[in-house]
Structure 1
Amino acid sequence: MNATPTPPTNPATPLPYRDASLPVDRRVEDLLSRMTLEEKAGQLFHSMLMMNADGTPVTETDGSILPFTTPELIEGRHLTHFNLLGSYGARAMATWQNAVQEMAAGTRLGIPVTLSTDPRHSFTDNVGASFNAGAFSAWPEAIGLAAIGDPELVFEFADIMRREYLSVGFRVALHPQIDLATEPRWARQSGTFGSDAKLTGELVQAYVRGLQGETLGAASVSAMVKHFPGGGPQKDGEDPHFAHGKEQIYPGGMREHHLEPFKAAIAAGCSQMMPYYGQPIGTDWDEVGFGFNKGVVTGLLREQLGFQGIVCTDWGLITDSVIFGEPHPARAWGVEHLSVAERAALALEAGSDQFGGEQCPEVVVELVRSGRISEARIDASVRRLLREKFVLGLFENPYVDPDAAAETVGRADFAAAGAAAQRRSLTVLTNTGKTLPVSGRPKLYVKDVDADVAAAYGELVSDPAEADLAVLRLRTPHEPRTNIFESFFHSGSLAFPEPELTGILSFLDAVPTLVCINLERAAVIPEIAERAAALIADYGASDAALLDVAFGRAAAGGRLPFELPRSMEAVAASRPDVPNDTENPVFPHGHGLTL
């Protein structure tokens, strides 16, 4: 147990941990020696913050979204790692991060805050997984980058993302997500690099190097790769954010195959790793969620694969929560019967360094004081966490320039690169009768396409019977879920239900139609594919991107990053751990036409 903390000395003679000329390890040990148990415990929690639209920290809360204010977490609970929720302007984000860092600088030891973010550069808006681009440059989803399949482009994207993130103060990316998309119904596929393990490995290496550089340093954004050991093989495609989706299974015996992308990420030097919620069933691993699983975190990740970085659990493993006013149990799959303290102890013993989405350091303090967990075990994780702060240069340069942030985020050349990638990712699946590319200025009828955008390509008509060509945008079907939070995770059937399907097919029979379907999952669309005049898949692309490709102003280069099944019966019969395992798919993995 630590003695009374050492008080700060004369600022003219900086403490060793404040001396940038000293080796990082010495600075870490000096700071660690000065920390109280409470201050150490605070480092083990990676919680969430929101901000006011004007760039000021949240100092009042009714507890409906987040249970504590920013000062309560930083000053009262000693937390210094936060994930920012919500979308805001660049200048406001930079102003806010400076205010948060100033608050942290005023604490006893002045440990700077490490800010993180879920993906912010595409079209998905899911409070539990990602935010739409907003002020940032807009790119296809990760699955669209996989459709392009170019590591050089992924490196360019990650480097642009790094510069935009740095400008507003984000130093940890809670991505990339490198699970293999092997269960067609799983809700998280749009954030993956598809079903191909080899390609995913190549793209994650480019992604990590674009974010971090060859080595982690002051110009880096740390990559938290997820979800170890691969979250794709979910039973029935349900997601383990929710109790009915907790089981992860390997009926095809391809568990090792799902590890291949993670080996590539470790080889690229990824700084952090996030285990998933899933509870493995029918393997030689303990049947407990991966964040609690010593055989997976310590035995596999650290000892077998040699990962030396930070392990942060996925969000909300140990305490129950209320999300959108609805109760959600802790995702403590396999250990639901344990107390909060027992769950925390099990995760620490498994080898996890940090609890994502939690803010209860008092639990760790009590575990140490009761003798359940040694302070030496806490120190081991705190060393890793402090070391990254020093390596990222946060002690020397915690602040950012709001003017520079406003100039950098969404910069014209960044936006142009993202727009070009949107066009390149589009995948032409059919082109019946050589409908594409469209020539001239035809009479156009558009549905779920911005009319103001479409007017630049043809003469708009209000009656499809008058149209030379219709343009219809669709999204992969999903089954509505009554739980508000779960409704963001599109799950269930991939086929259009009746009478919606009949309505779509009647429309396609009435007028030659270019159909563009957004593939956040692998849609079941055999009838639509047969009757559309042309069929294009997108993975996050603007109306202008689609129409540029349709009218030959840009080239589509995408290839399907997973197969498109023929029926839901084929999906149900497939093995969730085996890539592209449905019988007689409508379009195989890798399909795509060149116009």
Structure 2
Amino acid sequence: MQPTLSTAPDGTRFRDLNGNGVMDPYEDPRLTPEERTAALLARLSLEEKAGLMFQTVIELGDDGDLLETPGAISKSPTSTVILGKGMSHFNVHHIPTARAGARWSNNLQRLAEQTPHGIPVTISTDPRHAFVENTGVAFSAGPFSQWPEPMGLAALDDLEVIRTFADVARQEYCAVGIRAALHPQIDLPTEPRWGRQAQTFGYDAERVSQITAAYLEGFQGDALGPESVACTTKHFPGGGPQRDGEDAHFPYGREQDYPGGMFEYHLAPFREAIRRGTAGMMPYYGMPVGLERDGRPIDEVGFAYNRQIVTDLLREELGFDGVVVTDWELVNDNHVGDQVLPARAWGVEHLDATGRMRMLLDAGVDQFGGEECVDLLLDLVRSGAVAEERLDASVRRILLVKFQLGLFDDPYVDEDAAERIVGNAAFREAGTRAQAESVTVLVDREETLPLFAAPGARIYAEGLADHALAAYGERAVRPEEADVAIVRIGAPFDPRDDLFLEKWFHQGSLEFPPGLAVRLARIADQVPLVIVVNLDRPAVLTPLLPVASALVADYGSSDEAVLAALSGRIPPRGVLPVEIPRSMDAVRASATDVPDGTADPVFPRGFGLRPVAPAPVAAASEPVAARQ
């Protein structure tokens, strides 16, 4: 879809966004983004400025239509937030098809043309190219190409693959009108129990810094432009050292500890993100406990509330002048059905919503994530509690990104092109190859791997779909009838479902239940046993070692990709981005912020065997992607 253009007296084609028949400076495509930002900022009403400082979730209909009733997550009708509240930044969740996503994006932009200055919408997303489905963290790929979780990309230890992934994701995002990524997540997960590390790149600060550079290059290019996706890097200044590994989404996980004095280590990848021009930065929910810098105690309040972190460190010391957006729902509680998720106002729970917003502004944030309480901000300005000039500082940064992305000149996308680009065969094949190659072989006794040297194997399998197994052999009903057994399991966690979102977070113990090893040993008594563990956290694998002929890890891989790796059709080359602890006692005794900090780990960071691949067998000669 093409924008409607007008022609200035000198022949310049432009979008007449305010409908006055004149090419105003902010509409002039010949001016720089900085000049256009200054020109528009001077024209905006207080209400327009306030609306720009909020970003929340809105949902789309199955056919890409605009929802005018509150959805499962979104709180207000679409027209209310765009026309009534003046908001123009929205986080999208479920996208059923590429065409629906593109159509919805175009519908949003058409609606935005009705606002006083026609400010285009910026659509953002959490990661959506892998396997995790967690409304508070990430989404499974759906119509997009599917890759391993970021931890799996790190396991490949290949910057070119990272760059390729980021470029593919950029193309797919742009095709459906998504122009902002609420990632990369470059926290260093030094606490092994932390529930968000699947979306990280491990905790080697130097390597994560290099990955960050390649990732930003793939999404943003050398500088933001009309082909870029603007990245919001998170979670400043590092969300990995969570006390006991409990996540700061929840009241019991609000503290971050630095007993090893490693604050600067966790900060290192963010320095690189700033150097590489990340468009945005998101502080984490957590509050530092007992932290000092240069002999000065750091206030024990959530990082976004902390002026010492946002203004003194991020803005002044590190020189970041991009957009700082808070993580979601720091001002108001979130009620969904019969559950609640308290506002993450850690350390300032005693403040009301007005006090929280005022403190966030004083800390130096630009945009309130997961909120749409525009009236609250307007009341602060109209009462004199917050100066309008304070809003101007943030709105300048926010508008500049929109202009740099070219949204004011053409925010529309081609629905047919979206269907051709998103999830195309080449992208899917590249993603599946990365899934298989990221598989990490930890144990291979007596050269059990690769499997299936000859077609027609009898396979006892748990956790593997029939259609995936069919390319390699026949499913056996009992282990004793099989040539090999393959069991896929997930890393252990403690199920919880009291607070909203809690059930999606894998937290708590890293130990498998004792009965699992006993049951697996009975299988291993009958047939060689290959155990595949999905490491969304570094499970305690110790009890599995005696029973496994081969033990491998994946970080988000389809059944087809796992079998391609086990068979050697796509040889696995992954290495561990984190160490594997020997016991929970070792985990509990380790320092929260120290990398490689558990005593006598079973497998060190960087470990991974690489079995020799066999010649391809006829039964598995078709491309992996063709069977998806």
| Bucket of the pairwise TM-score, normalised by the shorter protein | over 0.9
CA 1:266 to 1:428, structure 2 compared with 1: closer, same or farther past 3 Å? same
1:541 is aligned to: 557
Q: What code does the residue aligned with 1:81 have?
A: H
1:57 is aligned to: 66
Query: 1:509: Cα distance to partner?
Result: 3.3
Query: 1:8: Cα distance to partner?
Result: 8.5
Match of 1:383 among 376, 396, 401: 396
1:310 is aligned to: 323
Matched, 1:402 2:415: yes
Give the 3-state SS of the residue equivalent to 1:530 in structure 2: coil
1:121 is aligned to: 129
Match of 2:431 among 390, 405, 418: 418
TM-score by length of 1: 0.97
1:252 is aligned to: 260
Matched, 1:222 2:230: yes
What is the CA deviation profile of residues 224-256 of structure 1, one whole-angstrom value per residue up to 9, with x for unaligned ones?
000000000000000000000000000111111
1:479 is aligned to: 494
1:19 is aligned to: 28
After superposing the two structures, state which structure 1 stretch, 27-36 or 465-474, moved more: 27-36
What is the CA deviation profile of residues 149-195 of structure 1, one whole-angstrom value per residue up to 9, with x for unaligned ones?
11111011100110000000001000000000100000000000002
Paired residues, number:
588
Query: 1:511: Cα distance to partner?
Result: 2.5
2:192 is aligned to: 184
The answer on whether the counterparts of 1:65 and 1:324 sit within 8 Å (CA) in structure 2 is: no
Q: What code does the residue aligned with 1:110 have?
A: G
2:447 is aligned to: 434
The answer on whether the counterparts of 2:17 and 2:113 sit within 8 Å (CA) in structure 1 is: no
Once residues 495 and 87 of structure 1 are traced to their aligned partners in structure 2, the CA distance between those partners, rounded to angstroms, is 35
Match of 2:119 among 108, 111, 114: 111
1:92 is aligned to: 100
Matched, 1:581 2:565: no
What is the CA deviation profile of residues 12-45 of structure 1, one whole-angstrom value per residue up to 9, with x for unaligned ones?
3222211111232222122112211111101110
Once residues 104 and 330 of structure 1 are traced to their aligned partners in structure 2, the CA distance between those partners, rounded to angstroms, is 29
2:146 is aligned to: 138
Query: 1:403: Cα distance to partner?
Result: 0.4
Q: What code does the residue aligned with 1:107 have?
A: T
The answer on whether the counterparts of 1:180 and 1:258 sit within 8 Å (CA) in structure 2 is: yes
Matched, 1:28 2:37: yes
The answer on whether the counterparts of 1:505 and 1:527 sit within 8 Å (CA) in structure 2 is: no
Structure 2 gap ranges (5+): 1-15, 292-296, 612-628
Give the 3-state SS of the residue equivalent to 2:258 in structure 1: coil
1:512 is aligned to: 528
The answer on whether the counterparts of 2:17 and 2:118 sit within 8 Å (CA) in structure 1 is: no
After superposing the two structures, state which structure 1 stretch, 131-140 or 458-467, moved more: 458-467
Q: What code does the residue aligned with 1:411 have?
A: N
Give the 3-state SS of the residue equivalent to 2:514 in structure 1: coil
Query: 1:48: Cα distance to partner?
Result: 0.6
After superposing the two structures, state which structure 1 stretch, 194-203 or 497-506, moved more: 497-506
Matched, 1:565 2:581: yes
Once residues 493 and 193 of structure 1 are traced to their aligned partners in structure 2, the CA distance between those partners, rounded to angstroms, is 22
Match of 1:46 among 33, 40, 55: 55
Q: What code does the residue aligned with 2:39 have?
A: D
Matched, 1:526 2:535: no
Query: 1:64: Cα distance to partner?
Result: 5.4
CA 1:304 to 1:9, structure 2 compared with 1: closer, same or farther past 3 Å? closer
The answer on whether the counterparts of 1:225 and 1:270 sit within 8 Å (CA) in structure 2 is: yes
Q: How high is the sequence identity, in percent, across the aligned residues?
A: 49
1:364 is aligned to: 377
Matched, 1:271 2:282: no
The answer on whether the counterparts of 2:493 and 2:506 sit within 8 Å (CA) in structure 1 is: yes
2:386 is aligned to: 373
Q: What code does the residue aligned with 2:598 have?
A: T
2:458 is aligned to: 443
Once residues 64 and 25 of structure 1 are traced to their aligned partners in structure 2, the CA distance between those partners, rounded to angstroms, is 38
Once residues 519 and 512 of structure 2 are traced to their aligned partners in structure 1, the CA distance between those partners, rounded to angstroms, is 10
Once residues 549 and 516 of structure 2 are traced to their aligned partners in structure 1, the CA distance between those partners, rounded to angstroms, is 19
Query: 1:506: Cα distance to partner?
Result: 2.9
1:3 is aligned to: none
Once residues 180 and 365 of structure 1 are traced to their aligned partners in structure 2, the CA distance between those partners, rounded to angstroms, is 38
Runs of 4 or more off by more than 6 Å in structure 1? 7-10
2:168 is aligned to: 160
Once residues 340 and 467 of structure 2 are traced to their aligned partners in structure 1, the CA distance between those partners, rounded to angstroms, is 43
Give the 3-state SS of the residue equivalent to 1:406 in structure 2: helix
Once residues 339 and 506 of structure 1 are traced to their aligned partners in structure 2, the CA distance between those partners, rounded to angstroms, is 58
CA 1:516 to 1:41, structure 2 compared with 1: closer, same or farther past 3 Å? same
Structure 1 gap ranges (5+): 1-6
Q: What code does the residue aligned with 1:419 have?
A: T
1:550 is aligned to: 566
